[in-house]
Every structure is written in C-alpha cells, then in structure tokens.
Amino acid sequence: MNGLKFVFGILLCLTFVVCVGIIGYKSEIQFEQEIGGHMQRAADANTVVLATQEMETVLENMRMNGYTHGYTTIISFLRTPDEDVGFWYENMNASLGELKKVPQNSSQLEQSNVLMKLRETLTNKGEQGSSVTVPSGISRFPNNFAWALAFWFTLVLFIIGFVLIVKSLDE
C-alpha cells in the first residue's frame, strides 16, 4: 500500500510540474516567438522598411491570437490602465501607421526620428536593461483565468501528492 501512495503522490506532483511547464512555455517561448521578439526587432530596426515588416508581423500575430481588446487581469475591479490590451493593440496599430506614412524619399533625419519614436513606444528602460512594452500577463491572455485556475488546482494536487509521498516514506 505504501508503494501505491508513493506513486500516486508522484503523479499528483507531476501534474503541477507539467502545468508550470506549459505556462512557462506559453509565457516565455511562444509569446516571444510570435510577438515579443518581433516587437524587439522592430525597435532595433535601422530602416523604416525593416521596422514596418516587423510591425506588420506583430499586428498579424496579435489579431491571430485575439490580442485586440480586453484586460489581462482576471478580477474586473482590480483593472489598471497598464493591463488594457485594446490600448496596446491600438498603439501598435498607430505605430505601424506612422511608419507607413514615411515617404520613401524622406531624409535620413526624418526616418531616424520616426524610428526613435517607435523605439520609445515599443521599449521600456529598466534596471535590467531594455524590454518591450506589453501589458502584464499578456502571454497568457485571453485565457488568464483558466491558467490561474489550472495553476492553483494543480498546486493543491502537488501539496496532496507531497503529503502522500511523505506519509508513504514514514510508514
């Protein structure tokens, strides 16, 4: 019986590990590949043409993933402006519009000014360097509630599993 408790405890603990892994993948890898990385490339672009290409990719992926409206917070009365996905989307769309307005025969100074403005829009400078400006929790949007629920549910399973493992080792 102790062996069965131990194995069941391990399985319960693994559900939490898998859930955290999936959330990490969605947060760090998938979002970065589809949107965050392209935002950084647009901010780093040296030409309006390159920046425009990257911003078109950003907006296409934002539309494809449903990042066009809503808030990233799961509790409505706790919403803050920095979690407004609609504003972020409109700001990215406006940035692309500004890039497309730049004539091909414009001066280097005019192009540099537009690229500097884009860089300021897309990035924040912090203690750990520069990072792209996105609403907090955007990588799990629009399923933030489901991911939070999954995290807490599997955390409870982890605790139960841990208790089962400890009890099976004590017996």
Asked whether residue 43 carries a pLDDT value surpassing 90, the answer given is yes
Q: How many domains does the chain divide into? A: 1
Q: How confident is the model at residue 1 (pLDDT cuts 50, 70, 90)?
A: low
Residues 155/12, Cβ–Cβ less than 8 Å: no
Find how far residue 143's CA is from the centre of its chain.
12
Domain range holding 118? 2-170
Higher pLDDT, 27 or 121: 121
Which ranges in 102-143 belong to alpha helices (H)? 108-122
Which has the closest alpha carbon to 111: 53, 27, 52? 52
Residue 122 has pLDDT above 70, yes or no: yes
* Residues 25-52 as b or e (16 or more Cβ within 10 Å = b): eebeeebeebbbbbbbbbbebeebeebb
Do 70 and 86 contact (CB within 8 A), yes or no? Answer: yes
In the predicted model, what is the mean pLDDT of the chain?
Answer: 89
